[in-house]
Each structure stands twice: as structure tokens, then as C-alpha cells.
Amino acid sequence: LKGVTLDINNNDYVAIVGPSGSGKSTLITAIAGLIGLVKGDIFVDKYKLTRAGRGRQAKIRAKYFGIIFQFSEMLGRFTVEENLRFAYVAAHGAIDEGYHTRLKYLAEMLDMFPLLTSYPGKLSGGQLQKTAIARALVKDSAFILADEPSGDLDPESVARVKKLLREEHERGKGILLVTHDNKLASD
């Protein structure tokens, strides 16, 4: 990535469309502070993410970002529900009623109730993608970073994901969506 300047605020919905290999996933990964930059800075709220130590970066990332990874990145030794719980606790410190409310809604919207007790290694690609989406959204973070969220999903599930992202945006969340799916980006 060279010469990129991007300013995303609460309630912005930004879609970046480009072919495979154009740097979309690299951009998401850099914004989240998961890879270092040769030069430049990433600011999240009042924090300079690029200059924070790893521990501080992890806390900022947990608090501010719900990240939908292209390849799910689930913790394999935990069930789907435990993966969601882990993400929520990292962001909020403890399980509360907000977690249970979000979990129930997301499991219903993504048709995941039967998956909650499953381990990631037993899931299909589409089921893993639904889990990655639920893990990002259950946290109720200020920003959603979505890296190809429609990958491996059937058309009905893609429609549900679009609806969820729109709802998050309507609730004041900043959304950065990277995709090569023009229809997903334009809706």
C-alpha cells in the first residue's frame, strides 16, 4: 500500500472494491494494527495505533473493531459459542445481558443456533464465515472491518449479512467493507 489516506468516522459506510491481490485485505489488516507499517500512522479515536505496543494495540483493537476476517480465524479448540464469548469478553471484560441479547439475535439472523456447540474444524466454509461475522458483530464495536464477508455464503445468507451490516450502520457504526463483489458494495 502506498499513498493511502483514509478517514472513516462513526456512521460512515465505506466500500472498497478491487480485484484479488489489489491490497484490500492488507489494508484491513493494517488498519486493525495486525501488521506493521514501513511509514505512516493509523489513528483510532485518540490513540496512535501504529505506535502503541502489542498489548495496547490488542486492547484498542478489541474495544474499537469488530473484524470479519476473510478466512474466519476461529480458535479451533473452542466451540463457536466460546469463540463468540471470547471476543465479547476481550471487548467488554465480562459477559452481561448485552452479550446474550446480541448472541440470540445474530444466531437467529445467521441461522446459527445448531452451530453454537460445534467446533470450527467441523464446519463448512459458509458456516465458518457466518461464525466470523457473528464474532465481529457480537462485540458491538464502534467500527466493523469486513474483509470479503460474503465469501463462501449462499445468496440467502449474503442477503442477511447485507441486512446486518446496514443495521449496524444505522446504529451509528463505522463500516469499512472490502470486496470484489460490486453488488455487495453498492447496496
How confident is the model over 143-164, as a mean pLDDT?
88
Q: Predicted confidence band at 178 (pLDDT cuts at 50, 70, 90)?
A: confident
Closest CA to 144 of 165, 167, 160: 165
| Residue 110 scores a pLDDT above 70 | yes
Q: In whole numbers, what is the pLDDT of the chain averaged over residues?
A: 86
- For residue 45, give every residue at least 6 positions away whose Cβ sits within 8 Å of its Cβ, in sequence order, or none: 64, 142
**Residue 72, pLDDT above cutoff 70:** no
The candidate with the shortest Cα–Cα distance to 119, out of 76, 160, 84, is 76
pLDDT above 90: residue 64: no
pLDDT at 184 over 70: no
Length of the chain: 187
Confidence of residue 182 (pLDDT cuts 50, 70, 90): low
Does residue 32 carry a pLDDT above 70?
Answer: yes
**143 three-class SS:** strand
Residue 112 to residue 134: CA distance in whole angstroms: 9
C-alpha cell of 124? 463448512
pLDDT of residue 1 exceeding 70: no
SS (H, E, C) 62-129: HHHEEEECCCCCCCCCCCHHHHHHHHHHHHHCCCCHHHHHHHHHHHHHCCCHHHCCCCHHHCCHHHHH
Q: What is the pLDDT of residues 117-135, one digit of tens each?
A: 999 989 998 899 999 999 9
Please give the pLDDT value at position 63: 84
Measured distance CA(21)–CA(82) in Å, rounded = 33
